[in-house]
Amino acid sequence: MKETYGAERLTDEKWQAIAENDESYDFKFFYAVKSTGIFCRPSCKSKLPNRGNVRIFQNAEQAIREEFRPCKRCKPTGERLPDREWVAIMTEYMDKNFAEALTLEVLADVCHGSPYHLHRTFKKIMSMTPTEYLQNIRIGKAQEYLLTSSLSVAEIATRVGFPHTSYFIALFKKKTGLTPADYRKQEI
């Protein structure tokens, strides 16, 4: 494994401090989560990440230098993360994980905030709800598959994150004016 400058080893002691939200470790180290790009104080009440995704830093500057962003909930730098940056974390996460079963609660957990606050902030910055944003990515991706693959509509629905084909077809039609089958025909 490649060692990165400024990163420290995740010992059992540190892992325990993170798992128990132990305040006495605050500012002794910080932990960053690779899958979200957020870093926290050990005491952060956010959901416990996978151990394999955790990186340890001695100070906040090192985490920032490696392009991790401070958690909005525990404010590891003492400052508030600007709304725009927080929303960027949400959109990046949805862009990458649109095929997963994403709910507002999951997103709130990952992005370290309450579902209510997350929803409100997202709407203020993006002029649409997180759900609408996610639907747009999924439908866009489905359009791509319809034109560039021979996958069935049901397979495409599953691949872009809709377990129910009938819902996918209804939403696709609402957004594009065409059913997936007609969309595919029309373009060829």
Catalytic residues, by residue number, are 40
33 forms part of the interface with Zn ion (CB under 5 A): no
Q: HSE, CB side, 13 Å, CA atoms: give it for residue 32.
A: 24
Provide the mask over 146-175, with x wherever binding to Zn ion is found by CB under 5 A and - wherever it is not. ------------------------------
Partners of 32 in the β-ladder: 39, 55
CB of 67 to Zn ion, least distance (A): 17
81 forms part of the interface with Zn ion (CB under 5 A): no
Distance CA 147, CA 149 (A): 6
CA angle, 7 then 44 then 101, to 5°: 90
Provide the mask over 103-122, with x wherever binding to Zn ion is found by CB under 5 A and - wherever it is not. ---------x----------
Residue 24 · residue 32 · CB < 8 Å: no
Closer residue to Zn ion (CB): 40 or 134: 40
Closer residue to Zn ion (CB): 81 or 102: 81
Residue of 17, 26, 14, 40 whose CA lies nearest to 113: 40
Residue of 98, 74, 87, 88 whose CA lies nearest to 23: 74
Closer residue to Zn ion (CB): 18 or 146: 18
Query: Which residue among 33, 60, 63, 74 contacts Zn ion (CB under 5 A)?
Result: 74
- Residues in contact with Zn ion by the rule CB under 5 A: 40, 44, 46, 71, 73-74, 112
